[in-house]
Amino acid sequence: MKMIYILNGPNLNLLGTREPEIYGTDTLASIEKACAAKAKTLGFDIDFRQTNIEGELVNHIHHAREHALGIVINAGAYTHTSVALHDAIKAVGLPTIEVHLSNVYKRESFRHHSYISPVAHGLICGFGPKSYELALEGLSSILKSTGKA
C-alpha cells in the first residue's frame, strides 16, 4: 500500500470560479490531475476527495487510518473552526500536511488560527495549486525518513 489521501473541505469544489483573485482559476479537477502526476513520480497513488460536510471529512480521516500512509488536507474554513478535525488527525496518527492555496496570514485575522496545525507535521500555504505538490513532496520525505515509503 502506497496510498496518500488528499482531503479537501468546503467550497473547494467551486475552485476556478470562486474568488479567482484569491484562489486562482485552476479547478479542483486540475489540481487532482497534477497531484496524481506528482504522486506517481514519488511512487505513490492518491485518493483525492472533497466534501462540504465536516463529519464526512472526519470519516475520510478515519478511513485513511487503514488505507493510507499519510494525509494532505485542505480543510478550507474548517481549518479555523474544527476541533473535530484536530481530534481525528491526532487520533489516526498518520503524517499529515496542512495545505492552503492562499497565504492565510495575509488575509483576515480569523484565518490566522488553525486547529489542524498543532497536529500536522507541516503547513504549506500561499503557493496556489503548487501547494499541494509541495505537500506531497514533504509527505514523501517524511515517509521515506521513517521507512514507511
Q: What would the mean pLDDT of 26-51 be, rounded to a whole number?
A: 97
pLDDT at position 105 is 76
Domain ranges of the chain: 3-145
Identify the burial level of 46 via C-beta atoms within 10 angstroms of its C-beta, where 0-12 means exposed, 13-18 middle and 19 or more buried. Answer: buried
Q: What would the mean pLDDT of 56-66 be, rounded to a whole number?
A: 98
Q: What would the mean pLDDT of 39-44 be, rounded to a whole number?
A: 97
Identify the burial level of 66 via C-beta atoms within 10 angstroms of its C-beta, where 0-12 means exposed, 13-18 middle and 19 or more buried. Answer: exposed
* Candidates 5, 23, 78, 132; catalytic one: 23
68-127: per-residue pLDDT in tens?
A: 999 999 999 999 999 999 999 999 999 999 999 988 877 777 777 899 999 999 999 999
Q: Decide: 7 and 86 in contact? Cβ < 8 Å.
A: no
Confirm whether 23 is a catalytic residue: yes
Cell numbers placing 22: 484569491
Confirm whether 67 is a catalytic residue: no
13-33: per-residue pLDDT in tens?
A: 988 888 777 777 889 999 999
**Domain range 3-145, its CATH number among 3.40.50.9100, 3.40.50.80, 3.40.50.2000, 3.40.50.10490:** 3.40.50.9100
* pTM of the predicted model as reported, rounded to 2 decimal places: 0.94
pLDDT at position 137 is 98
* Candidates 5, 100, 115, 132; catalytic one: 100
Assign 1 a pLDDT band (cuts: 50, 70, 90): low
